[in-house]
Amino acid sequence: MSIPESDFILQASDLSKSYKSGSRDIQVLQDVQISVMRGQTISIRGESGSGKSTLLNLLAGIEIPDQGEVVWNGTPVSTIAESKRPGIRASYLGFVFQSFYLIPELNTLENVVLAARIAGKSPKEAKSLAEHFLEELGLAERLQSRPDQLSGGERQRTAIARALINKPQVLLADEPTGNLDEKTAQRVLDQLLSVVEKHQAALLLVTHLAGFASRTGTQLHLEDGRLV
């Protein structure tokens, strides 16, 4: 039985992207198709330089495809005014990166609160949500610690809380365990999958590790610019 289009919260069709290198055009992505349902977990693997991060940027509307279309919850991104995209993106999508990107001058709680304040939440609501997600991720005792006082795993869990605070429908995670040792990486992935399932957010996980990819419901591979 086919799935109704309305059940997909993120779709991309015929996505292609190339970059200039001197006088050459380097094709990174070609005719990529992907459809994501609420609560679905998807991993994307591929060689270094295969275009995994570019694909996430296109899905997030950060980069513009040469051809093709990205659709957020039934609305083509190309039809959304450029001035409105950041606000919609902040509430619709969450990001987790390999390098954490925490603000060093802010403590754990403040780093997470800031994301909610940018999205327009009141100080009281932002603080309450931040405390909730940080507690859920095992960081209730580290609210006042700055990033340089946290372990790598604690910093990544802080970044996950920040990505989830606006209750996004889709979480994009780009090699989120790449800077962690194996034991810590496993623990962070456990918590990421658990909290995503609890909040029924869809997850797109870019990883080079087959073992991590196997823990998602759907496994895709980016090969020669195409998803297979």
Question: What is the percent of the chain where pLDDT is above 70?
Answer: 97
67-72 and 75-76 beta bridge pairing: antiparallel
Angle, CA 154 vertex, CA 148 and CA 157 arms, to 5° = 125
Q: Mapped to the 3 state alphabet, what secondary structure does the chain carry? A: CCCCHHHEEEEEEEEEEEEEECCEEEEEEEEEEEEEECCCEEEEEECCCCCHHHHHHHHCCCCCCCEEEEEECCEEHHHCCCCCHHHHHHHHEEEEECCCCCCCCCCHHHHHHHHHHHCCCCHHHHHHHHHHHHHHCCCHHHCCCCHHHCCHHHHHHHHHHHHHCCCCCEEEEECCCCCCCHHHHHHHHHHHHHHHHHCCCEEEEECCCHHHHCCCCEEEEEECCEEC
What is the rounded average pLDDT for all residues in the chain? Answer: 91
- In CATH, which of 3.40.50.300, 3.90.199.10, 3.40.50.2300, 3.65.10.10 is domain 40-51+81-227? 3.40.50.300
**Confidence at residue 6, expressed as pLDDT on a 0 to 100 scale:** 55
- Which tens digits make up the pLDDT trace of 55-71? 999 999 999 999 999 99
Rounded distance between C-alpha atoms, residue 228 and residue 220, angstroms: 6
- In this predicted structure, the answer to whether residue 135 has a pLDDT above a threshold of 80 is yes
Task: For the chain, give every domain's residue range.
Answer: 40-51+81-227
Q: Region 30-40: what's the mean pLDDT?
A: 94
- Which tens digits make up the pLDDT trace of 92-133? 999 998 889 999 999 999 999 999 998 889 999 999 999 999
- In this predicted structure, the answer to whether residue 5 has a pLDDT above a threshold of 80 is no
